[in-house]
Amino acid sequence: MKNRVFLKYDFRCAPFSPVTHSDLYACALEQVQWAEKQGVGTVMVCEHHGADDGYCPSPLVTLSAMAAVTQSMRLVTSVIILPFHDPLRLAEDIAVLDIISGGRVELVLAAGYIPSEFDMFDVPLSKRPSLVEESIQAMRQAWSGEVFEFRGRSVRVTPKPVQSNGPKIILGGSSAAAAKRAARIADGYMPAVPETFMDYIEESHRLEKTALILRAQGPLFLYVSEDPDKAWAEIAPYAMHETGCYGRWAQEAGMDNSYYAAADNADALRETGMYSILTPDQCVEMAKGLGDLGAIALHPLMGGMPPELSWPSLQLFADKVLPKLEIDRDSVFAVDRL
């Protein structure tokens, strides 16, 4: 039984955090170097724009820095919000990152959902589906290195990525329409709403395409401690900040807010299980329970947690959890065919 482990960073920095964004980015670079030596195979960097807490707007820039300090770790955008990017410029940046990293790039792309972000970039929400389809088609053509037609003009993108035909494209989403779109135009699907994965599988079968199963994840946030109650008291403010921010975004977008609204205080949030504070033995049990399709998410700087709170969990995970697991260094998005 094998597990995959990945790091995730979004660089939120809660207003009460004692650290700066400079501290968080510097710490993340140290952590990816350290984690690669422990057997962690993947790092993900997220994207949002105009957030009060400085949520990372530039995953490709961040992953370029991480590529420079690692040798084998897979570099995942999770996600790039396609409607905010020029497809040709995005294809160029991704190609260069793939070259710099030696072909380690994987892409999770999405249509976005927060109205204020679309206002910021002057993009109508109604154009999301068409922009996603246009962007993916353009990037695939761009990575051929050949001349192609784009918006009525002949264009060419060079240099070509290291990976033949470009990096793998996984499409994220939270609706049946997004799931079916992923089956049609992407290499895989990462559902924000788990129930929509069946829509992806069914559409893949209808199109006579092989459906791809992505790795199942454990808790949204995992922290390893010999004293979970003490650790939760320190971590809870950052978790409350994170869920509050996502909840407000969901409300702004008119989405079902029950996932975040269920916890209006720290005790209630802990009861949801989204944030798991586990002893090493409990963590081992949880990891083995995920099975061969399991992936363990480590979000060490969640909400702007300072390094001195972040590192002890990572070190305990490396010392007392990893030795009891069989770790697969392949990407968390390695797929299994149905």
Q: Report domain extents, the chain.
A: 2-337
Confidence at 259, pLDDT banded by 50, 70, 90? low
pTM of the entire predicted model: 0.95
Determine the topology of domain 2-337 in CATH: TIM Barrel (3.20.20)
Confidence at 258, pLDDT banded by 50, 70, 90? low
112-133 per-position pLDDT tens digit: 999 999 999 999 999 999 999 9
Cα dihedral sign, 178-52-222-30: positive
pLDDT of residue 335: 56
List, in sequence order, every beta strand (DSSP E) within the chain.
2-9, 42-45, 74-81, 105-110, 148-150, 153-155, 168-173, 188-191, 212-213, 216-217, 221-224, 275-278, 294-298, 326-327, 336-337
pLDDT of residue 235: 97
Of all residues in the chain, what percent carry a pLDDT higher than 70? 94
